Structure 1
Amino acid sequence: MSEELFTNLAIFVLSLLVGFEVMSKIPATLQTPMMSGANAIHGVVVVGAFVIAAEANSWPFYILAFLGAFFAAVNVAGGYTVTDRMLGMFDRKPAAKQEEADHK
């Protein structure tokens, strides 16, 4: 194993551990705002996958770059969908507003 690969693997493993530790400490009330921030970060991952694709010089690297960009894009779209649904749970229903007005 080359030194560069070992360094990159060590950084990857450390980032997984730090990410897990940070995520486990966030209270449930902050999950929605944190998710929106994470979606923005995954937009950077999509750009990074494009940069890697530009540097690719063989088919396995092209396939890996495509998969990285695809999964990052799916994660961004899914994250915004889930965030929108979660925020929708806090909206009042039109019928509830009308009933409130009738009671006053």
Structure 2
Amino acid sequence: MYDELLANLAILVLSGFVGFAVISKVPNTLHTPLMSGTNAIHGIVVLGALVVFGTVEHPSLAVQIILFVATVFGTLNVIGGFIVTDRMLGMFKGKKKALPAAAKSEEAAK
């Protein structure tokens, strides 16, 4: 049990270092597609958590609380990621040109 926990903890720490190294080398122009892909993957992770939540037989209260909190935090992460991605995509949109005064008065008359 202890060896398995230690191995899983080592994998978690190493994956954090690898993730940081990979993300830091991504150019700024590719962060938006990267975030969209990450949101899709995290949505699958949340779905997997829901499946695990439904298939555990007679879970203890502690297991139910951990699964619920993990599902809520994962869902918040997905929602926040889509909000940030939408803002980033909004920066690429061109600004609307102001209508001349004559065009504004014609539209107001309609």
Is the TM-score greater than 0.5? yes
Q: Mark the structure with the bigger radius of gyration.
A: 2
How many residue pairs align between the two structures? 98
More helix by share: 1
Alignment partners' CA distance in 2, 1:47 and 1:3? 29
Structure 1, unpaired ranges of 5+: 100-104
* 1:25 to partner: Cα distance: 0.9
1:31 aligns with 2:45: no
RMSD across aligned positions (CA): 1.9
Asked which structure has the greater RCO (Cα within 8 Å, sep 6+), the reply is 2
Q: Which amino acid aligns with 1:9?
A: L
Q: Distance in 1 between matches of 2:7 and 2:56?
A: 20
Could you list the structure 1 runs, at least 4 aligned residues long, displaced by more than 4 angstroms after superposition: none
Unaligned runs of 5+ in 2: 101-110
Q: TM-score scaled by structure 1?
A: 0.81
In the alignment, the residues of structure 1 paired with residue 83 and residue 44 of structure 2 have an alpha-carbon distance, to the nearest angstrom, of 18
TM-score, normalised relative to structure 2: 0.77
2:95 maps to which of 93, 96, 101: 93
